[in-house]
Chain A
Amino acid sequence: DTEVTQTPKHLVMGMTNKKSLKCEQHMGHRAMYWYKQKAKKPPELMFVYSYEKLSINESVPSRFSPECPNSSLLNLHLHALQPEDSALYLCASSQAGFTGELFFGEGSRLTVL
């Protein structure tokens, strides 16, 4: 199984809502990532978890709150977002302690009204 599964595929939320994006992988990877991708732009690194601990936080606003409850799951909790936060949110996983391929999910497309 070489899949990274993200849910939901599409999400529309108001600026006062609280929602979560979910990511799951069963490849035994111990590094998991959140990237944000705006239209016609490259993926931008937001957070990295290694062995379920936050190892990289790219000065992302606190309205984005990551969580890694176990080695297979990664969540991104969203609260009080702004319209400019509308983007494709990509989850990825890889082996930890080793520089190698990132396996990406299909992404969750978020629209903030």
Chain B
Amino acid sequence: GENVEQHPSTLSVQEGDSAVIKCTYSDSASNYFPWYKQELGKGPQLIIDIRSNVGEKKDQRIAVTLNKTAKHFSLHITETQPEDSAVYFCAASIYTDMRFGAGTRLTVKP
């Protein structure tokens, strides 16, 4: 089955700096790569996603890149704000089979 690895496990940045989280996946059949943000006591919420036929996608301060050949994808958050502090999960999916990375706890210091 699919195996998703995520790094780093914790990330601390100053407000206004950029944050980068990286993931790798094992199954070349995976074709959908979402990123979820989970705040304390809440369920995960989608913040951005990318499909296997696209190399890069941007939504305001958030961008995701995908390298299918290397089976890598990354989340980039620019101009970080304290409200970006949360746990971020990458995932890889084939149809309804979605598997998550271990998560990154992002702390943005004001």
Residue positions of A touching B, CB distance < 8 A? 4, 31, 33, 40-45, 48, 50, 55-56, 90, 92, 94, 96-107
Q: In the complex, what residues of B have CB within 8 A of residue A99's CB?
A: 31-32, 51, 93-96
Q: Does B43 lie within 8 Å of A106, measured CB to CB?
A: yes
Q: Does A107 lie within 8 Å of B96, measured CB to CB?
A: no
> A-facing mask of B25-62, CB < 8 A → 1, else 0?
00000011010100001111110010100000000000
Q: Does B96 lie within 8 Å of A31, measured CB to CB?
A: yes
Instruction: Give the A-B pair count, Cβ closer than 8 A.
Output: 58
Q: Is B68 an interface residue (CB 8 A)?
A: no
B63 to chain A, nearest CB (A): 18
A57 to chain B, nearest CB (A): 12
Q: Does A45 lie within 8 Å of B94, measured CB to CB?
A: no
A96 to chain B, nearest CB (A): 7
Q: Quick one: closest B residue to A50, CB to CB?
A: B96
Q: In the complex, what residues of A have CB within 8 A of residue B42's CB?
A: 106-107
Q: Does B95 lie within 8 Å of A104, measured CB to CB?
A: no
Residue positions of B touching A, CB distance < 8 A? 31-32, 34, 36, 41-46, 49, 51, 89, 93-103
Q: List 21 A-B contacts (CB under 8 A).
A: A4-B43, A33-B96, A41-B102, A42-B89, A42-B100, A42-B101, A43-B89, A45-B97, A48-B96, A50-B96, A55-B96, A56-B96, A90-B43, A90-B44, A98-B95, A99-B32, A99-B95, A102-B46, A104-B44, A106-B41, A106-B43
Complex Cα spacing A94 to B34, Å: 13
